[in-house]
């Protein structure tokens, strides 16, 4: 499945792919893609599969952790020419594990131009080495020199800063304005380079180390057009919206009983049921968007990402494009 997306404001994330193990679990096969204008790259990708350790999806599968690939040439990447032709310069692979069982690999591609401000950071804690969470890698668009310098010299204890809060809670964490409050410890540096919002996603990985992925958004190039966090009830049969943010309409409030999504219902419900990221072709048809929200915000498609910890569903994150 491929989804063509047309938006008035270019997002920091330009392409999203989902790769799942084949029937014999010897390769990763194409499941779905959100390519926008990168149609030729999508055509190339649909024909491919990856073995353990092959390409960006296979490398994340092999290492059992997220991978940030900031340069395609000379790396373990099999689509360099096609990616460069579409202006894609960075790839991030997020494996999704239910315990030691790989359900999928979510691959995100970004581009790099003068107006492409923002950052995606991978933070890690190795409990055998430190009590702190430090920067493992990151992609910084046009903010690299100014913001990466301070990020590599920053460390978080559990419960401190956005990465530390996501580490402690095992839940997504969002801050609408990084210049306000005390949760974002690099606020001054972020403001100087135009970064204004932060969203941190816990990563289900294999092994003792803990990883979280931070998405830091700039006004001109938001990470996505709208995102929401949905939480399961005690029985895991329903999802309730815990909140979110839309670039067109502002804060998305927590939902009430009328906004619940049944397990298996719509794109978000299927992601919750299977533990596999999902792409929905029509945001307007999603049960969680009420009151014409998709039309008002000009939303075209949704990516639903399950957040798992020790094999249990903790949340579903919805990215709207």
C-alpha to C-alpha distance for 210 and 128, rounded to whole angstroms: 11
d(CA 299, CA 3): 12
Q: How many CB atoms lie within 10 A of CB 291?
A: 7
CB within 8 A of 188, min separation 6: which ones? none
pLDDT at residue 255, rounded to an integer: 80
Q: What is the pLDDT of residue 287?
A: 78
Q: What are the pLDDT tens digits along the chain (321 aa)?
A: 544 443 446 788 999 999 999 999 999 999 999 999 899 999 999 999 999 999 999 999 999 999 999 889 878 899 999 999 999 989 999 999 999 999 999 999 988 665 666 788 999 999 999 999 999 998 877 655 667 777 788 899 999 888 999 999 999 998 877 656 555 556 566 556 667 788 899 999 998 999 999 988 777 778 888 999 999 999 889 999 999 999 888 899 998 766 799 989 999 999 999 999 999 987 777 877 755 566 655 678 999 999 999 999 999 999 999
The per-residue pLDDT for 187 is 56
Residue entry with tokens 């359900």: 103
Among 77, 88, 72, which Cα is nearest to 36's?
88
The pLDDT value given to residue 5: 41
Distance CA 178, CA 238 (A): 32
Contact by Cβ (8 Å): 180, 186: no
Q: Are strands 88-98 and 67-69 parallel, antiparallel or unpaired?
A: antiparallel
Q: Which residue has the tokens 């999704």?
A: 96
pLDDT given at position 115:
60
Contact 317, 307 (CB under 8 A): yes
pLDDT of residue 145: 66
3-class DSSP state for residue 188?
A: helix
In three-state secondary structure terms, 289 is coil
**Pair type for strands 117-125 and 302-309:** unpaired
């Amino acid at each position: 499945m491929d989804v063509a997306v047309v938006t008035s404001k270019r997002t920091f994330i330009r392409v999203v792919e989902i790769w799942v193990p084949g029937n014999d679990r010897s390769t990763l096969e194409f499941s779905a893609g959100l390519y926008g204008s990168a149609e030729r790259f999508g055509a190339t990708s649909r024909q491919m599969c990856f073995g353990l350790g092959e390409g960006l999806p296979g490398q994340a599968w092999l290492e059992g952790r997220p991978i940030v690939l900031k340069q395609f040439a000379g790396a373990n990447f099999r689509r360099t020419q096609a990616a460069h032709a579409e202006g894609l310069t960075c790839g991030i692979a997020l494996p999704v594990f239910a315990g030691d069982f790989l359900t999928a690999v979510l691959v995100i591609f970004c581009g790099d131009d003068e107006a492409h401000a923002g950052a995606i950071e991978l933070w890690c804690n190795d409990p055998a080495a430190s009590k702190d969470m430090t920067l493992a890698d990151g992609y910084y668009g046009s903010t690299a020199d100014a913001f990466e310098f301070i990020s590599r010299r920053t460390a978080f204890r559990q419960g401190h800063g956005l990465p530390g809060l996501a580490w402690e809670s095992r839940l997504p964490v969002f801050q609408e304005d990084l210049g306000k409050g005390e949760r974002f410890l690099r606020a001054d540096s972020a403001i100087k380079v135009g970064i204004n919002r932060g969203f941190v996603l816990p990563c289900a990985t294999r092994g003792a180390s803990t990883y979280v992925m931070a998405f830091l958004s700039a006004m001109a190039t938001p990470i996505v057009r709208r995102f929401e966090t949905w939480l399961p009830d005690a029985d895991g049969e329903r999802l309730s919206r815990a909140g979110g943010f839309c670039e067109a309409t502002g804060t998305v409030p927590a939902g009430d009983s009328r906004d619940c999504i049944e397990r298996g219902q719509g794109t978000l419900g299927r992601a919750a049921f299977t533990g596999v990221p999902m792409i929905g072709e029509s945001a307007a048809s999603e049960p969680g968007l009420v009151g014409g929200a998709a039309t008002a915000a000009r939303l075209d498609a949704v990516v639903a990402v399950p957040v798992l910890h020790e094999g249990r569903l903790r949340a579903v994150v919805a990215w709207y494009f």
